[in-house]
Amino acid sequence: MSVLKLFILSLIFISCSSVSEAQFIGTPEPFVGSAVEDMSIGRSESIANKSVSQGDYVIKTAYASVDVSSSKFNSTISEVENLVKEYEGNISNTYLSTNYQGLKSYSLTMNVPAEDFESFLNQIETVSEFSNISSNANDVTEYVLDIDSRLKALNNEKIALEEIKKEATSTSDKLQVQAQLRYINQDIEMLQGQKEYYEKSTSYSTLTLEIREGSGVSLFSWNYYVQRALSWIETIIGISISLSFVIGPLMLIYFVVKKVRNKN
């Protein structure tokens, strides 16, 4: 194989790599929150109708909250979790908290197949009407198409280099081609990983739902004062136990010293 042929191919490879790298750097990563739609109580329009993204690869997310009575708090959580199973989705994150009134709040992040997302939201709303909801739709189709284009170019370069490697006669030529193949394979793996991420993100849509117990309890309700009283009792007991660990040994030392002085 002529050295000139290998040199020319190297220049082509370097120039193509530079162009690909420049395209990659110049293309910003998509931001999921780039297209936010707010919906008030009593949502009547679907997310699909309000979304401005119509590409083949759209990442959809929604954030919502519902207010339920204390008696329905646990049953609402169970119904929502059962709906996730019914739609063959999964729950990726949960968080339970309690406020100063003793009222609980349960937040869960759910992932369901994208094609069933609108139906899933409607089913959630039959369990308990949304107090508020916002949705995000981010079209990443252009990024996927760009990745496909660069993968095609890299695979063509790989085939050409493999042919040259077969024709190479000297060890140095083979090593040079092998080095270039290694870099191409690394770029291919990186791009394939990015495409898999986009495909996974667009195949499932995400809803983060906060279920709030008895939200908006009046300061004049008996429940408020009961919860406050229980909180104070708990605080007093905690302080008393902590002080006993300090005062107890001091009292013991005092009586021992007093007894010794009385004997003297």
Each residue's pLDDT tens digit, 76-134: 999 999 999 999 999 999 999 988 878 899 999 999 999 999 999 999 999 988 989 99
pLDDT at 38: 41
The side-by-side arrangement of strands in the sheet containing 58-68 is 36-39, 132-139, 58-68, 204-213, 104-113, 90-98
pLDDT at 108: 95
pLDDT at 248: 77
pLDDT tops 80 at residue 258? no
CA gap 65, 74 in Å, rounded = 15
pLDDT tops 60 at residue 45? no
pLDDT at 13: 53
The length of the chain, given as a count of residues: 264
For 129, the 3-state DSSP assignment is coil
Question: Which has the minimum average pLDDT: 174-178, 210-214, 239-243?
Answer: 239-243
The pLDDT tens digits of the residues spanning 143-191 come to 999 999 999 999 999 999 988 888 888 888 888 888 999 999 999 999 9
CA gap 42, 128 in Å, rounded = 11
166-172's contacts with Cβ under 8 Å and 24+ in sequence apart are: 167/1, 168/1, 169/1, 170/1
- pLDDT-above-70 percentage for the chain: 73
CA gap 206, 14 in Å, rounded = 41
pLDDT at 54: 47
pLDDT at 63: 95
CA gap 38, 77 in Å, rounded = 24
For the residues 234-241, what does the mean pLDDT come to?
A: 84
Distances, alpha carbon 96 to alpha carbons 21, 61, 67, 105, 248, in Å: 45, 21, 15, 6, 37
Predicted TM-score (pTM) of the model is 0.57
Beta bridge partners of 59: 138
pLDDT tops 60 at residue 239? yes
CA gap 140, 26 in Å, rounded = 15
Name the pLDDT band for 15 (thresholds 50, 70, 90): very low
pLDDT at 31: 39
pLDDT at 50: 40
pLDDT at 177: 87
